[in-house]
């Protein structure tokens, strides 16, 4: 599969602080790629780098390339990049309120996306909006299009934002923790709907989440970030069955599961270091049960395996 | 179950909101006729989605807010009837840990001050060694005593919150989503700490969470709330749920195992406004099993006393 979005060995800095270091990952059409890691590991920055939004927060790509559909993003003008984002990339953020205009009716806000990017007439745009809302299991879509944002629940608003992201028929959707603010039952439904819509339409989805359960449920591949570096990347099946990187294994082990013996959930000792104080060698070494002297002194190289990548001096058995 | 330490009897809380020149004030029942008991040394879990009344219940149980009706008895003392002075004395035995370790600690004070405060409020002076001991009990180095909350990570702050709650050596602790704002890696650390403290100090917990998976891991019995009412009490963590809402909560929990993918049954329909609950079962707008009877009559919590459920057509 040719990748629609391809980050190739990128590093990112803000000022003179290096925040991301040599990250490679790609997302193909109809594919869902999860980006996971604890808070502060660099997930949102990776997303911003992917769509050329780093300048907004004073950041820049210092190394490597980002390609969208084969085109080098760095070689485009800002106008071209803006056009690309508008027409071909949908963005869903954690907080639906920032994406919705409080003084415009829901239907109009969704309609405008397909009118602008697909050139649809008013009537066709509305028909498309109603179809999307129905697919997102919004009850009484016909009434919801006439509602104002404040009349809808959080779960509804988040579904509207997802509808807006899909309305322009984008090739890529980047969803940054799209459901963390929602109730668990609604969360599970939205994740499931998003996953199936993306596959049905051949859209590429980069799904940022801190929930390994969500990754296991909907993603094809997963990229695990730790302290600005890639720990492990590859197809979800083998990674969950036998994680090579101790950090991946630890993250999976933090999720309470049925049948788990009491006391078996111990967490990961310590905390994610801040960018100003990254440890030498492997950045995970102060928290890693397998850390050796080699780990404390030398950063592990990224090793490409048949299906993915791992950066660890003492990886678990590959299958 | 061991002898009940806390008895909650038909506890209700009504809130009023709005009201003004033209608007009529609206009322809602945040907690409705809740009856429960917590055994000594037990960890009782309360789960439910945002707005179902978990925090209100927590505050009522410690009488941080006054109930509209009902009673709370702790070791035989009806705390809803106590005078302010008597309440203060019995409060020593109870404590609360809040959800947000960022806003529950005053940024102006050092950790030593933060930890000494509950004792000072009770008119006690404390030796610096006691602060070190408190920090150590939650796995923090004594060197942190002079630092301020903003210098700590989220997990460290929540440890301080727990140490402060334990300052007066309570035997009953209410934990209101103590890990909701933390990474799963840190959540697991805090849960391990809470389990250890319970074993060492013989604590009794009321543990509130919106995560049924977490509650099933940590708690002995589980209370499920929906829009202010208890809809089911699971007697242990293995028993299969009988209420359709509990089932939906369980289904929403994705196992971290791609080999166990499944299509979850969609709950259609919206959560009704707590200010305008429809007649009948509050879950009927979303329930796949709802019948005409459910939309007319309100199911009471009943059936098996060890595993009560409020549903006309339980699973
Ligand atoms: N504008 C900024 N200036 C300086 N540092 C920043 C900036 N934005 C992010 N960082 C730092 O970069 C690192 C990665 O941040 P990022 O927001 O990508 O994390 P994340 O994985 O998305 O975390 P979360 O799960 O909390 O959203 C963090 O250490 C953060 O403090
Ligand atoms: N002081 C108050 N005045 C008016 N209404 C209130 C007050 N406190 C809570 N409520 C309402 O009571 C209901 C229950 O709130 P509560 O905070 O107990 O829910 P919760 O289950 O803790 O939710 P969350 O999971 O979001 O913390 C909500 O509808 C809330 O808006
Ligand atoms: S390189 Fe060493 S410290 Fe880092 S994850 Fe691998 S074993 Fe652990
Ligand atoms: S009483 Fe009826 S509507 Fe309520 S949960 Fe049971 S089956 Fe569903
Ligand atoms: Mg982020
Ligand atoms: Mg609450």
Pair A131, A214 in one domain? no
ipTM above 0.95, yes or no: no
A215-240 pLDDT per residue, tens: 999 999 999 999 999 999 999 999 99
Distance in Å, CA B231 to ligand 4 centroid: 10
Q: Tell me, yes or no, whether B22 lies in a domain.
A: no
Q: Tell me, yes or no, whether B58 lies in a domain.
A: yes
Pair A180, A165 in one domain? no
- Residue predicted with more confidence, A98 or B305: B305
Q: Tell me, yes or no, whether B311 lies in a domain.
A: no
Q: Tell me, yes or no, whether A316 lies in a domain.
A: no
| Own/partner long-range contacts of B21-25 (Cβ < 8 Å, ≥24 apart) | none
Pair A246, A184 in one domain? yes
CATH number at residue A80: 3.40.50.300
How many CB pairs lie under 8 A apart between chains A and B? 131
- pLDDT greater than 60 at residue A318: no
A287-298 pLDDT per residue, tens: 999 999 999 999
What is the spatial distance between Cα B187 and Cα B202, in angstroms, rounded to a whole number? Answer: 22
A131-164 pLDDT per residue, tens: 999 888 787 888 899 999 988 877 788 889 989 9
Q: Tell me, yes or no, whether A80 lies in a domain.
A: yes
All residues of chain A having their beta carbon less than 8 Å from the beta carbon of residue B213 are 255-258
* A275 CB within 6 A, ligand 1: yes
The whole model's pTM is what? 0.90
Q: Tell me, yes or no, whether B76 lies in a domain.
A: yes
**Residue B159 corresponds to which tokens in the numbers above?**
């440890």
Mean pLDDT calculated for residue range A52-58: 90
- Range of the structural domain that residue A53 is part of: 3-88+170-257+265-310
Pair A64, A174 in one domain? yes
Q: Within an 8 Å CB–CB cutoff, is residue A260 touching chain B?
A: yes
Distance in Å, CA B36 to ligand 2 centroid: 20
What is the spatial distance between Cα A262 and Cα B193, in angstroms, rounded to a whole number? Answer: 12
What residues of chain A, 182 to 201, have a C-beta less than 8 Å from chain B?
183-185, 187-189, 191-192
Q: Tell me, yes or no, whether B89 lies in a domain.
A: yes
What is the spatial distance between Cα A25 and Cα B266, in angstroms, rounded to a whole number? Answer: 33
Which of the listed residues A169, A199, A216 is the one where a domain comes to its end? A169
Pair A24, A109 in one domain? no
Closest listed ligand to the CA of B47: 2
What residues of chain B, 93 to 122, have a C-beta less than 8 Å from chain A?
none
Pair A189, A114 in one domain? no
- Range of the structural domain that residue B100 is part of: 4-15+28-296
Which of the listed residues A169, A186, A204 is the one where a domain comes to its end? A169
Contact across the interface for A257 and B263, Cβ inside 8 Å: no
Q: Tell me, yes or no, whether B314 lies in a domain.
A: no
B80-100 pLDDT per residue, tens: 999 988 888 888 899 999 887
Contact across the interface for A263 and B192, Cβ inside 8 Å: yes
Q: Tell me, yes or no, whether A277 lies in a domain.
A: yes
All residues of chain B having their beta carbon less than 8 Å from the beta carbon of residue A217 are 254, 258, 261
Q: Tell me, yes or no, whether B204 lies in a domain.
A: yes
| Range in B5-9, B156-160, B293-297 the model is least confident about | B156-160
Find the closest chain B residue to A40 by CA distance: B183
State the best of B102, B183, B269 to mutate against chain A, taking most chain A CBs within 10 Å.
B183
Pair A165, A145 in one domain? yes
Q: Tell me, yes or no, whether A187 lies in a domain.
A: yes
**Residue B75 corresponds to which tokens in the numbers above?**
């070791």
Pair A78, A107 in one domain? no
What is the spatial distance between Cα A195 and Cα A198, in angstroms, rounded to a whole number? Answer: 5
Are A223 and A235 in contact by the 8 Å Cβ rule? The answer is no
* A37 CB within 6 A, ligand 1: yes
Pair A205, A145 in one domain? no
The mean of the pLDDT values for chain B is 89
Index of the ligand 4 atom closest to the CA of residue B293 = 2
Helix runs in B166-290, H state only: 184-201, 212-218, 244-251
Task: State how far residue A49 is from chain B, nearest Cα, in angstroms.
Answer: 24
Mean pLDDT calculated for residue range B291-302: 96
Q: Give the count of domains, chain A.
A: 2
SS3 content of chain A, % helix, strand, coil (to 5): 40, 25, 35
In this prediction, residue B1 carries a pLDDT of 53
In this prediction, residue A319 carries a pLDDT of 40
CB count within 10 Å of CB B16 equals 9
Pair A129, A116 in one domain? yes
CATH number at residue B261: 3.40.50.300
Q: Tell me, yes or no, whether A319 lies in a domain.
A: no
All residues of chain A having their beta carbon less than 8 Å from the beta carbon of residue B205 are none
Residue A263's contacts (CB-CB under 8 Å, 6 or more residues apart) are: B192, B195
Index of the ligand 2 atom closest to the CA of residue B57 = 18
Q: Tell me, yes or no, whether B65 lies in a domain.
A: yes
Q: Tell me, yes or no, whether A124 lies in a domain.
A: yes
Find the closest chain B residue to A140 by CA distance: B269
Which of the listed residues A109, A135, A169 is the one where a domain comes to its end? A169
Pair A228, A179 in one domain? yes
Index of the ligand 4 atom closest to the CA of residue B312 = 1
- pLDDT greater than 90 at residue A316: no
What is the spatial distance between Cα B291 and Cα A285, in angstroms, rounded to a whole number? Answer: 58
Choose the closest CB to A251 out of B185, B264, B268: B185
Pair A151, A183 in one domain? no
**What residue has token string 């008991």?**
B37
Mean pLDDT calculated for residue range A112-126: 93
Q: Give the count of domains, chain B.
A: 1
**Most confident listed range (A4-8, A185-189, A275-279, B259-263):** A4-8
In this prediction, residue A104 carries a pLDDT of 93
**What residue has token string 């290096």?**
A18
Residue A299, helix vs strand vs coil: coil
């Amino acid at each position: 599969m040719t990748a629609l979005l391809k980050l190739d060995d990128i590093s990112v800095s803000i000022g003179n602080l290096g925040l991301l270091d040599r990250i490679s990952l790609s997302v193909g059409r109809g594919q869902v790629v999860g980006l996971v890691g604890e808070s502060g590991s660099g997930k949102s920055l990776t997303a911003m780098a992917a769509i050329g939004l780093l300048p907004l927060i004073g950041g820049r790509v210092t190394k490597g390339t980002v390609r969208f559909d084969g085109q080098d993003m760095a070689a485009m003008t800002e106008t071209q990049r803006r056009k690309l984002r508008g027409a071909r990339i949908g963005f869903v953020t954690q907080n639906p309120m920032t994406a919705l205009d409080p003084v415009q009716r829901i239907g109009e806000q969704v309609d405008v996306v397909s009118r602008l990017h697909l050139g649809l007439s008013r009537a066709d745009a509305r028909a498309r909006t109603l179809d999307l809302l129905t697919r997102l299991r919004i009850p009484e879509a016909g009434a919801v299009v006439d509602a104002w944002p404040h009349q809808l629940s959080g779960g509804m608003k988040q579904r509207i934002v997802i509808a807006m992201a899909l309305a322009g028929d984008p090739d890529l959707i980047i969803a940054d923790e799209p459901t963390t603010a929602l109730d668990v039952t609604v969360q599970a439904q939205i994740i499931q709907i998003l996953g199936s819509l993306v596959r049905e339409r051949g859209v590429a989805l980069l799904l940022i989440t801190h929930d390994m359960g969500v990754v296991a449920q909907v993603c094809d591949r997963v990229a695990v970030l730790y302290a600005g570096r890639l720990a492990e990347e590859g197809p979800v099946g083998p990674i969950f069955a036998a994680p090579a990187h101790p950090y991946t294994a630890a993250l999976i082990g933090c999720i309470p599961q049925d049948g788990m013996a009491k006391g078996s959930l111990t967490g990961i000792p310590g905390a994610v270091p801040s960018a100003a104080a990254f440890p030498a060698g492997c950045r995970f070494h102060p928290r890693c049960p397998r850390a050796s002297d080699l780990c404390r002194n030398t950063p592990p190289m990224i090793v490409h395996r048949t299906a993915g990548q791992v950066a660890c001096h003492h990886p678990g058995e590959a299958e | 179950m061991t002898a009940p330490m806390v008895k909650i009897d038909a506890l209700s809380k009504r809130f009023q909101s709005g009201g003004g020149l033209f608007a009529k004030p609206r009322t809602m029942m945040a907690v409705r006729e809740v009856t429960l008991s917590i055994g000594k040394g037990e960890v009782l879990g309360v789960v439910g989605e945002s707005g179902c009344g978990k925090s209100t219940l927590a505050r009522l149980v410690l009488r941080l807010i006054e109930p509209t009706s009902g009673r709370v008895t702790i070791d035989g003392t009806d705390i809803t009837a106590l005078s302010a002075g008597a309440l203060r004395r019995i409060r020593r035995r109870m404590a609360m840990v809040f959800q947000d370790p960022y806003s529950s600690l005053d940024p102006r004070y050092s950790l030593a001050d933060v930890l000494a405060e509950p004792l000072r409020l009770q008119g006690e002076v404390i030796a610096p060694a006691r602060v070190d001991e408190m920090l150590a009990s939650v796995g923090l180095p004594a060197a942190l005593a002079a630092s301020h909350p903003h210098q700590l990570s989220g997990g460290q702050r929540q440890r301080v919150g727990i140490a402060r709650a334990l300052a007066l050596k309570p035997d009953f602790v209410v934990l209101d989503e103590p890990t909701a704002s933390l990474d799963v890696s840190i959540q697991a650390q805090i849960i391990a700490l809470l389990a250890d403290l319970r074993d060492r100090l013989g604590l009794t917990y009321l543990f509130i969470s919106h995560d049924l998976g977490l509650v099933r891991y940590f708690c002995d019995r589980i209370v499920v709330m929906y829009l202010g009412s208890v809809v089911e009490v699971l007697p242990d963590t293995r028993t299969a749920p009988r209420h359709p809402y509990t089932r939906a909560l369980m289904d929403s929990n994705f196992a971290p195992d791609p080999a166990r993918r499944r299509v979850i049954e969609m709950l259609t329909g919206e959560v009704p406004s707590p200010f305008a609950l429809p007649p009948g079962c509050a879950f009927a707008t979303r329930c796949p099993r709802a019948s005409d009877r459910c939309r007319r009559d309100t199911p009471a919590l009943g059936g098996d006393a060890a595993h009560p459920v409020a549903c006309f057509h339980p699973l």
